Amino acid sequence: MQATSPLPPFPQGRDDRLATPALLCERGFALRPARDDDLPWLRTLYASTRAEELAPVPWPDEAKRAFLDSQFALQHQHYLHHYADADFLAIEREGTPVGRYYLQRRAPDHLIVDISLLPAARGQGIASALIEHSQHDAAALGRGLHLHVSSDNAQAQRLYQRLGFVLLEDGGAYRRLRWPPQGAL
């Protein structure tokens, strides 16, 4: 297998990065700036988000891994290039990484670039707590919040609908959703 080229480093952290929501702190979770030494587990996290999609693909495991590594590298480069001013946050529970939360906070709306959790951390209210905290943060500045979600991710779409997001655009593979600040507070 080919050696992968080094990935670009995360930008230096913001001084005003998003704080960990109190509800998550009480449960042993914390947010911290993502670091370059997080890239191996972030690669594993990315692969976990594509596992169901790739399960029926008749490729050898090595080919799937190479594909996922390539896709992760492209996504990482894209995020750093297009959202360089975002909060790139690792989600930890008692010091162990369980996910990532990438949030760009600027006018007119904040953007949830990515929220991903390892399978064992899903369904525990982590994403809800982070999004609700982000909604309050955006609303305090008179801003909304938007995101893109895969059209085939019904579970995430139900979560976003419950949290007050509305469909702005159906782009086929992805849907663009927006939360208006007056809609949830």
Given pLDDT bands bounded at 50, 70 and 90, which one contains residue 185? very low
Q: What is the total residue count of the chain?
A: 185
Q: pTM (2 decimals)?
A: 0.92
* H or E element at residue 92: strand 87-93
- Looking at domain 22-183, its CATH architecture is 3-Layer(aba) Sandwich (3.40)
Distance CA 69, CA 19 (A): 30
Domains of the chain: which residue ranges?
22-183
Asked whether the predicted pLDDT for residue 2 surpasses 60, the reply is no
Token readout for 74 is 């492209």
Give the pLDDT confidence of 27-64 residue by residue, as tens digits: 999 999 999 999 999 999 999 999 999 999 999 999 99
∠ Cα 61 67 71 (to 5°) = 145
Give the pLDDT confidence of 88-125 residue by residue, as tens digits: 999 999 999 999 999 999 999 999 999 999 999 999 99
Please classify residue 159 by burial: count the beta carbons closer than 10 Å to its beta carbon, then call 0-12 exposed, 13-18 middle and 19+ buried. middle
pLDDT above 90: percentage of residues in the chain:
89
